[in-house]
């Protein structure tokens, strides 16, 4: 199951957290971690793109059970070590765009910094919509340089290049709140609430619930 996006992030697994702190700021990551800690009653949770397990650890105390999934075996190895004392977290190497689970299997789906990296993000969101229970919650998180000025964007790009080199195949997406909300609605979700955290580099924290009266995802039509 070798994919370009798998190989890109997997090679940074051992240094990923420190590298990301450098690019977006440790304070912003801590603020996001704290925001996730405020979630309650997450039930059975699927995390698409768990990476090193940094955010998995934030939601674990509020979850009944977690399936932490990632394309990268190297990332999963780091996550397994970090979360070794949490027996209710299981790990799966897989692709959130593929039909791995039965419909309506999860109470919550967490997608932290996944939609930024996908050249075609809608199929992933449609699959998330399919596996969520009715009334289940999507939490989608995306770093962005939305509203940063040109000099700040150059500085962010410089820091990224110093730690990660060229962006992954397909590039990196920088959503505005409106763009992210529109994308999530295209997958069949109705009401989308978005919080904006941070300063120069920001985080969009989107939350939506799968309605009992919901549109089908266009990829399923």
Q: What is the pLDDT of residues 98-156, one digit of tens each?
A: 999 999 999 999 999 999 988 899 999 999 999 999 999 999 999 999 999 999 999 99
196 neighbors 32 (Cβ within 8 angstroms): no
Q: Is the pLDDT of residue 213 over 90?
A: no
Decide if pLDDT at 159 tops 60: yes
Q: How confident is the model at residue 70 (pLDDT cuts 50, 70, 90)?
A: very high
Count of beta carbons in the 10 Å neighbourhood of residue 12: 20
Q: What is the DSSP letter of 217?
A: P
Residue 147 in contact with residue 204, Cβ under 8 Å?
A: no
**pLDDT at residue number 8:** 87
Q: What is the pLDDT confidence band of residue 171, given thresholds at 50, 70 and 90? A: confident
Give SS3 for 86. Answer: coil
| pLDDT computed for residue 219 by the predictor | 57
Q: Reduced to 3 states, what is the DSSP secondary structure of residue 144?
A: strand
pLDDT of residue 177: 97
3-class SS of residue 32:
helix
- Which domains can be identified in the chain, with CATH numbers? 4-220 (3.40.50.150)
Q: Are 63 and 137 in contact (CB under 8 A)?
A: no
Residue-level pLDDT at 90: 97
Give CA–CA dist 181/202, Å, rounded: 16
pLDDT for 58 beyond 80: yes
Per-residue pLDDT band for 79 (boundaries 50, 70, 90) equals very high
Give the predicted TM-score (pTM) of the model. Answer: 0.93
């Amino acid at each position: 199951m070798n994919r370009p996006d798998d190989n890109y992030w997997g090679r940074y697994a051992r240094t990923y957290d420190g590298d990301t702190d450098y690019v977006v700021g440790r304070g912003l990551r801590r603020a996001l971690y704290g925001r996730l800690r405020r979630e309650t009653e997450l039930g059975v949770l699927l995390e698409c793109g768990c990476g090193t397990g940094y955010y998995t650890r934030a939601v674990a105390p509020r979850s009944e059970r977690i399936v932490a999934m990632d394309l990268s075996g190297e990332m999963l190895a780091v996550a397994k070590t970090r979360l070794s004392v949490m027996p209710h977290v299981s790990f799966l190497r897989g692709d959130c765009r593929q039909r791995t689970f039965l419909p309506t299997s999860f109470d919550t789906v967490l997608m932290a910094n996944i939609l930024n990296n996908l050249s075609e993000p809608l199929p992933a969101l449609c699959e998330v919509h399919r596996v969520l229970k009715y009334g289940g919650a999507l939490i989608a998180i995306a770093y962005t340089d939305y509203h940063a000025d040109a000099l700040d964007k150059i500085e962010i790009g410089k820091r990224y290049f110093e730690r990660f080199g060229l962006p992954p195949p397909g590039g990196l997406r920088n959503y505005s709140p409106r763009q992210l909300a529109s994308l999530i609605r295209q997958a069949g979700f109705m009401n989308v609430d978005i919080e904006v955290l941070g300063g120069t580099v920001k985080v969009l924290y989107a939350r939506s619930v799968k309605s009992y009266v919901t549109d089908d995802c266009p990829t399923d039509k």
